[in-house]
């Protein structure tokens, strides 16, 4: 039971919550134990609130006619406008290739939900990259190369724009630096790619004895084939090796950026309990794109590993799979209030998040129009 208790403590600590406190107030002081709306808002915005007790529920603030953005659940009175500018512009000069990450395919719960279709409706030429869900960037980049070759052959374009989520960003970088595709790639946009690794991969590697590698790969292949035609020969530990913080420098040092390619990056920031982390603003270099006081509440499927990704008490801002610091590459464009699933519109996201205003389709539309405005 000691391990389970430690995991629980790490999750709570990593997200700035303190079970012993009530909204940061002195429970013995009647003037501070139950905050006013102004006090609750201030505590939430500064990361001092503890929403283990939902004061908005107990005080009847949900649906009371005023937008209480600081409540842990979405207040029906809040009609947050979608984040980001209204998408407008012209089609990109080069086709866009959307490339997925680890444990993903073009169709499963980690796929780009509706992104290809909405970009095509805006006039862009778009293709979906497809790679084995469990393998090294070197292997996965070979599959991406075939997609890029096909797009260039079909469209007659000179180059493509790569938009890459999570581990897919490592594949995209290796395609250019390792496979010599610099002349065929105009830009690489990475979305929460762990360029400096993710600690959850280091932990996974430490828990898996090498003697079981073949068995793990066989199990991964069987599972992967339920959602990907490319999973038959999986190599899980190879993928985790290059996703780990311990080995990320090896990839970065061996395969530097191509000066002829434009690199930009985005990061996601989320919280298990929807509690602000005071370190978010600094980590995001002041480029955190969010409505004041709003914080994304992390999908429960990612919450279990968030403390590991955050390095426990270091409280490193993250989206459940990658820290902001690890996601920085090339020109950093900022953070969005989204977890690792939200960034690809999953699972089955439709419309803006009512609690943050984040809309993944709006985000991708603006990314594409921005690439076009830059001449790509």
H-run or E-run covering 42 = helix 37-46
Residues 350-366 have a mean pLDDT of 94
Domain residue spans of the chain = 2-58, 96-373
At residue 222, the 3 state secondary structure works out as: helix
Structure tokens at 57: 């529920």
Q: Which residue has the higher pLDDT, 65 or 111?
A: 111
Q: Is the pLDDT of residue 18 over 80?
A: no
**Up-side HSE of residue 155: CA atoms within 13 Å toward CB?**
20
Question: At residue 76, does pLDDT exceed 90?
Answer: no
290 pLDDT more than 90? yes
Q: How far apart are CA 118 and CA 122, in angstroms?
A: 7
Q: Which pLDDT score, from 0 to 100, does residue 52 have?
A: 73
- Lowest mean pLDDT segment, chosen from 84-98, 201-215, 221-235, 300-314: 201-215
Q: What is the pLDDT of residue 33?
A: 64
Bridge partners of 120? none
Average pLDDT over residues 348-362: 93
pLDDT of the residue at 5: 35
Model confidence band, residue 233 (pLDDT cutoffs 50, 70, 90): very high
User: What's the pLDDT at 356?
Assistant: 93
CATH architecture assignment, domain 96-373: 3-Layer(aba) Sandwich (3.40)
Closest CA to 130 of 144, 116, 151: 144
Phi, psi of 266 (to 5 degrees): -130, 155
Give the dihedral sign, CA 338/339/343/349: negative
pLDDT in tens, 216-230: 999 999 999 999 999
Q: How much is the average pLDDT of 195-208?
A: 95
Question: How far is 102 from 113, CA to CA, in rounded Å?
Answer: 16
């Amino acid at each position: 039971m000691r391990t389970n208790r430690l995991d629980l403590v790490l999750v709570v600590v990593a997200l700035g919550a303190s079970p012993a406190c009530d909204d940061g107030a002195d429970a013995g002081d009647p003037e501070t134990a139950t905050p006013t709306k102004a006090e609750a808002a201030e505590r939430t915005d500064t990361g001092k609130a503890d929403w283990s007790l939902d004061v908005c529920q107990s005080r009847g603030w949900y649906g009371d006619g005023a937008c209480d953005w600081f409540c842990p659940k979405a207040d029906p009175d809040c009609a947050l406008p979608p984040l980001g500018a209204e998408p407008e512009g012209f089609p990109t000069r080069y086709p866009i290739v959307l490339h997925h990450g680890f444990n993903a395919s073009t169709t499963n719960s980690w796929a780009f939900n509706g992104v290809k279709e909405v970009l095509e409706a805006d006039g862009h030429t778009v293709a979906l990259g497809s790679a084995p869900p469990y393998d090294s960037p070197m292997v996965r980049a070979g599959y991406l190369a075939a997609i890029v070759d096909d797009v260039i052959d079909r469209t007659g374009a000179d180059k493509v724009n790569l938009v890459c989520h999570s581990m897919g960003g490592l594949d995209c970088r290796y395609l250019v630096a390792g496979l010599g595709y610099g002349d065929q790639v105009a830009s690489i946009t990475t979305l929460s790619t762990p360029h400096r690794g993710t600690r959850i991969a280091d932990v996974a590697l430490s828990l898996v004895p090498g003697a079981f590698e073949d068995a793990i790969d066989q199990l991964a292949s069987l599972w992967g084939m339920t959602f990907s035609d490319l999973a038959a020969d999986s190599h899980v530990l190879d993928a985790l090796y290059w996703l780990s913080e311990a080995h990320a420098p090896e990839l970065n040092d061996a395969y530097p950026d191509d000066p002829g390619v434009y690199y930009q990056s985005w990061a996601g920031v989320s919280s298990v309990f929807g509690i602000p982390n005071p370190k978010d603003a600094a980590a995001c270099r002041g480029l955190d794109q969010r409505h004041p006081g709003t914080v994304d509440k992390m999908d429960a499927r990612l919450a279990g590993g968030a403390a590991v990704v955050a390095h426990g008490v270091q409280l490193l801002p993250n989206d459940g799979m990658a820290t902001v610091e690890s996601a920085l590459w090339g020109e950093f464009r900022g953070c969005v209030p989204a977890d690792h699933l939200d960034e690809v519109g999953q699972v089955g996201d439709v419309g803006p998040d009512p609690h943050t205003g984040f809309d993944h389709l709006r985000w991708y539309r603006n990314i594409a129009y921005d690439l076009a405005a830059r001449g790509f």
